[in-house]
Amino acid sequence: MPKNEKKKKAKKEGFTRTLTVVVALWIVKAFENQNINKQSLSLSNPLPEQLPRGFQPDVQNDYDYKSEASSEYIQEDLNQKPSGRTSPNNKYEIYTGSRDDRVCMKKIDPTVERKHVKEGKIPKFVIIGADKCGTSALGKFLSDHPDVMYIGETYFFSREWAKGSDWIKSKSAGVFEDQYVLEKSPTYYRSPAAPKRMLQINPDMKVALVVCRNVKRLLSRYLHLYRPGETNDQKKSRVTNFFGTTTSSFMRAALENINMFDRYLERLYPDWKNPEKLHLLIDGLVDKFEKVIPPFRRGLENNIRGAPASSMIADGLWPVFLKYWQRELGKDRIITIDGSMLNVDPAGQIERLQDFFGLSKEISYKNFIFHQNRGILCLQGSNGLPCCPTDEKGRSLGIEIDPEIKTRICEFFKPFDDYMLEMMDLDWPSWRDTCE
């Protein structure tokens, strides 16, 4: 072979070798990036298009909101959000990659023959709760139970009541004969008609009331009102007029509103801070709730004058709502669930709920996985990946609040929190010892 040709061939071989090494390194790096700590997962496989045998898809996956990543998001908050959080509880498996399983599936025993009910069933279990206390997460978590069909939010017992029983049944069309239907709509919590309707349509109804820590709840409410996807400019400008454009301006305004609310309560019952007299205030407020008069009207301008946050504040007076619901449903039909624990130890709350609903203890910590980059605990999908909500959930996590403001807000709510814990004979250490 002429010298020239040999040189050309060697050069070509060298190039091919370099290219092969580069491609191999790139593939290795891509796998490293997935960085999943479950050895058995094959991440190069796409998500399954057909359900594997023995799995049932969610009827309604209310985790599937449109992503709302937008530059409008409050910069101050974004700066505070660290990526890569530590697991809140080391009993849960941790996922350190960046993928999500968008199709949550639950395991159904394929060997058991189950009949379908074509027309669907009336719900037997309902989740109610204050906005932003984690009702979606609770519903979603319970939907992993093979004996539960979760139909998400229908608003049947509030604004859709006139549609009738066939309508609500149709939401669970095809449910297994031995499955229970679970519904959730947070707005039932503040609808005086809802418990009466629930018993009317199903005397065996059981209700889970989700409560949560008030500081974070208020912050979540603000982040929801002032969310990137909110396109109603008028509404948005009202929110910013009242509360400003940052979480710290909101928390300052919330505290001022709480002080006004406190003065309003003092006018109603000057003695309300005396623990012996608190029940008088609570009974008076139950009456106002039933009549839907201030402070239980909705909206920013409809309640205590000069306190646009008063309806958000009133939502956190747990014993008022609980007393009303207990009176209407009967004490043994309602349980309180700590929504603040759903991102710390969901299995603990789910265990209580399974017990209360009379379900087998199918769901345990093994059903969950902590998505480290997002800082949330999610169900674990059939292929081992976390099955998480979209970015719309978890906005408030990791945002720091001025400790002094926090303490003062907690002081206001403390007597109500304690009253509720006593009513339900609960000892929740985090409620006693921390302010969140």
Name the site residues for ligand PPS (rule: CB under 6 A). 131-137, 186, 220, 223, 342-343, 376-377, 389, 393-397
Tell me how far, at minimum, the Cβ of 184 lies from ligand PPS, in Å.
8
Tell me how far, at minimum, the Cβ of 11 lies from ligand PPS, in Å.
57
Tell me how far, at minimum, the Cβ of 133 lies from ligand PPS, in Å.
5
Decide whether 211 or 265 has the Cβ nearer to ligand PPS.
211
Decide whether 395 or 406 has the Cβ nearer to ligand PPS.
395
- Residue pair 174/163 in contact (Cβ under 8 Å)? The answer is no
Decide whether 137 or 194 has the Cβ nearer to ligand PPS.
137
Decide whether 179 or 396 has the Cβ nearer to ligand PPS.
396
Q: Can you tell me the distance from the alpha carbon of 365 to that of 348, in angstroms, rounded to the nearest whole number? A: 8
Decide whether 345 or 417 has the Cβ nearer to ligand PPS.
345
Decide whether 18 or 434 has the Cβ nearer to ligand PPS.
434
Decide whether 214 or 220 has the Cβ nearer to ligand PPS.
220
Tell me how far, at minimum, the Cβ of 50 lies from ligand PPS, in Å.
27
Tell me how far, at minimum, the Cβ of 415 lies from ligand PPS, in Å.
24
Tell me how far, at minimum, the Cβ of 220 lies from ligand PPS, in Å.
3
Tell me how far, at minimum, the Cβ of 113 lies from ligand PPS, in Å.
34
